[in-house]
Chain A
Amino acid sequence: MRYMVMHYETEATENGAMPTPEQQQAIGTFMQEVASTGVLLGGEGVFPSSHGARVEFTGDDVRVIDGPFAEARELIAGFALLDVQTLAEAIEIARKFGQIVGTGRVDVRRVVEASDLQ
């Protein structure tokens, strides 16, 4: 089963704070550890929302709004795609990762597979 694990911005990261060297090292070690258990399929981190935009749809109306956006804690800061046997396994990885990156929240969501669509 695949899970998408998404973590969210904090006020600090939205204001452009980059991870400290210690944090970067801890994240690097953690990613290596996850990779060596064979569960990491991929993942990325994103810049603060001031570097991005939002496209909103209301009926036929489409609006493009440039960042930054309010409510840092509602903004995705990055994701990882995990290939694990159970939700509990994905949660354990999310828990560790969240503690290292210092996010306020990590969402763990199951990926819809081709076999789920039959």
Chain B
Amino acid sequence: MNEHDSTRHSEVSALEERLAAVWRAESPRLIARVARLVGDLSAAEDIAQDAFVAAIEKWRVEGLPPQPAAWLHRTARYLAIDRIRRQDAQQAKYRQLAARSDVVQPPEELPSDATLADDLLGLIFMACHPVLSADARSALTLKLVCGLTTEEVARALLTAQATVAQRIVRAKRTLRAANVTFELPEQTERARRLQAVREVIYLLFNEGYAATSGAQWTRNDLCHEAQRLARTLAALTPNDTETLGLLALLEIQASRLAARTDSSGNQVLLMDQDRDRWDHLLIRRGLALVDRIEHLGGSSGCYALQAAIAACHARATHAESTDWEQIAALYDALAQINPSPVVELNRALAVSRAYGPAEGLALLTPLMGQPVMAGYHLLPAAAADLSCLAGEHQHARDLFLEAAAAAPNQRERTALQRRAAECLNHIAITVPPRDLHQSDLRDELP
């Protein structure tokens, strides 16, 4: 490759990168705006892509304009209006045949109060619509709202590209069949729909935070996308305390991503983490959100409560200074609004920290027999921890091995087997209980 070629090559790849960046930043709003105009998600995505293809052809020759986003929006709008005209013209032809009238109505202008923010929120509501399955919502949201390519979505969800593509096509078909409009829902319905959106974001983050399959411990990119979505949702609904709670929770959980694995990729439990490696910018953001929720009158919703729990850990500069009584009280509140064995498990762990292992085991024991908890490795793992603290090493070892056998991935299995071996060496007395927050984020369990 001569010098000219290599310059040309780097120019081309710089252009490609810029185009990808523009697409990523603009496509959600572009699709949202067009969807409002034409009323159909599939058509909107096609039009946005057509506008982008037109842009690429033009810009490859002329270079990027000073405001590529504005150009894309104008072009997409033109294409949308053109499409509406063609449809109108089609209908007009029938009308003409009937009435010999050749007046074709110009398309309606955008409603003036339709801000970009509302468009974006409308798009999010559509992608997370309750008529769609959980899988479809995740895929559609990553594709349309995060601006990922189908290939990237497939990678993020550890699913074959063809499967994801099909899922997205079906989802759009389902939305059309259900006659889902782009209008923002009214107040009561809006609260329900926001809850559905939060669930999608929460599941995406969990999927990345504790990979349920494969050997990999975390999938940071997916966490990152979920965080970005939560930030978007919080920016669009700045006074919704549960959304702020969700964002606070994700910011604080994500602050520990770097500290959750050691240099050989092994899991490091919350109480063992090097807190200097926590991301203090994210913690500050999370704590500021928790303060803001208080300022707005507080929230007793499940995300705000989980955020408050995460905040307790984040505020503790040393593991020893954790306010376990406060955490136990917050889990009490969480158990009341969102009773689940997983919450109960975490409550038991917090109680044992605050009031002693015997108190904790008393709460755990009734869970051990519950059918929904069968195969859930974190329960025997937690019981093993408490047995360790109570000095029952043999019992603890059996429970660790039981947990290891049920662990969903190799890394967790190895970590649990190591704990079992440590019991044998009587080292376990000094080993603190396992990461509460790992189980705390596994609420997908029934």
Q: B227 contacts A88, CB within 8 Å?
A: no
Q: A38 contacts B25, CB within 8 Å?
A: no
Q: A38 contacts B116, CB within 8 Å?
A: no
Q: A88-B17, A91-B21, A99-B67 are in contact. Are A41 and B281 (CB under 8 A)?
A: yes
Q: Which residue of B lies closest to A83 (CB)?
A: B228
Give chain B nearest CB distance to A88 CB in angstroms: 4
C-alpha spacing A81/B285, complex, angstroms: 12
Which of A19-27, A71-79, A110-118 is the interface stretch?
Answer: A110-118
Instruction: Report which residue of A42, A92, A114 has the largest number of chain B beta carbons within 10 angstroms of its beta carbon.
Output: A92
Q: A114-B279, A118-B263 are in contact. Are A36 and B120 (CB under 8 A)?
A: yes
C-alpha spacing A28/B28, complex, angstroms: 20
Q: Which of B25, B66, B68, B117 contacts A93 (CB 8 A)?
A: B25
Q: A99-B66, A114-B258 are in contact. Are A32 and B117 (CB under 8 A)?
A: yes
* Number of A residues, CB within 8 Å of B: 26
**Residues in A43-92 with C-beta less than 8 Å from chain B:** 81, 83, 85-89, 91-92
C-alpha spacing A56/B281, complex, angstroms: 28
C-alpha spacing A38/B146, complex, angstroms: 10
**Residues in B111-146 with C-beta less than 8 Å from chain A:** 116-117, 120
Which residues of the partner chain A approach B232 to less than 8 Å between Cβ atoms? Answer: 36-38
Q: B258 contacts A115, CB within 8 Å?
A: yes
Which residues of the partner chain B approach A18 to less than 8 Å between Cβ atoms? Answer: none
C-alpha spacing A99/B65, complex, angstroms: 13
Q: A86-B21, A91-B18 are in contact. Are A36 and B69 (CB under 8 A)?
A: no
Instruction: Report which residue of B20, B25, B258 has the largest number of chain A beta carbons within 10 angstroms of its beta carbon.
Output: B25
Instruction: Report which residue of A35, A38, A87, A92 has the largest number of chain B beta carbons within 10 angstroms of its beta carbon.
Output: A38
Q: Which residue of B lies closest to A92 (CB)?
A: B21
The total of interchain contacts (Cβ-Cβ below 8 angstroms) comes to 64
Give chain B nearest CB distance to A29 CB in angstroms: 9
Which residues of the partner chain A approach B279 to less than 8 Å between Cβ atoms? Answer: 114
Q: A32-B117, A86-B20, A113-B258 are in contact. Are A38 and B277 (CB under 8 A)?
A: no
Instruction: Report which residue of A36, A91, A93, A99 has the largest number of chain B beta carbons within 10 angstroms of its beta carbon.
Output: A36
C-alpha spacing A49/B68, complex, angstroms: 34
Q: A36-B235, A99-B66 are in contact. Are A41 and B285 (CB under 8 A)?
A: yes
**Residues in B65-89 with C-beta less than 8 Å from chain A:** 66-69
Q: A36 contacts B236, CB within 8 Å?
A: yes
Which residues of the partner chain A approach B263 to less than 8 Å between Cβ atoms? Answer: 118
Q: B228 contacts A89, CB within 8 Å?
A: no
C-alpha spacing A40/B281, complex, angstroms: 12
**Residues in A85-113 with C-beta less than 8 Å from chain B:** 85-89, 91-93, 96, 99, 113
Query: With an 8 A cutoff between CB atoms, is B193 at the interface?
Result: no
Show 16 A/B contacts (Cβ-Cβ < 8 Å), sorted by A. Answer: A32-B117, A35-B231, A36-B116, A36-B120, A36-B235, A38-B232, A42-B281, A86-B17, A86-B21, A87-B17, A88-B17, A89-B24, A91-B21, A92-B25, A92-B68, A115-B258
Q: Give residues in A with beta carbon < 8 Å to B.
A: 32-33, 35-42, 81, 83, 85-89, 91-93, 96, 99, 113-115, 118
Closest 6 CB pairs of A and B: A38-B228, A38-B231, A88-B21, A88-B17, A38-B232, A35-B235
